[in-house]
Amino acid sequence: MDQLNEHINRVNEKLQLLIRQHQLLLKENERLKQDLEQIKGSEQNIKERAVWLEQQLEIARISSGEADQEAKSALEKRINTYIKEIDQCISLLTNQ
């Protein structure tokens, strides 16, 4: 009977240890998820900043006369697209 109680106690201790480890792993998992979300947000900000800087560089090249005709036409096309979108917005606002 003593051996059985000892065995039950050992199993119980191991079970308690597993429960503690499981709880620690759950906490670590939650922390890692939060870290991942934060990194994803930072990555998105960096990508947006890179796009903005590329646009600024393109504008600087065009304004200084260093850009080729292809870059100038691409910028002109983009500006025309913006103008069309603005016109659509104005049209929608005046029709309301």
- Residue by residue, DSSP assigns the chain as -HHHHHHHHHHHHHHHHHHHHHHHHHHHHHHHHHHHHHHHHHHHHHHHHHHHHHHHHHHHHHHHT-S-HHHHHHHHHHHHHHHHHHHHHHHHHHH-
pLDDT digits 0-9 by tens, 4-26: 889 999 999 999 999 999 999 99
Do 61 and 71 touch, CB atoms closer than 8 A? yes
Q: Residue 39: pLDDT band by 50, 70, 90 thresholds? A: very high
Using a pLDDT cut of 70, give the percent of the chain over it. Answer: 98
pLDDT digits 0-9 by tens, 60-71: 887 887 767 877
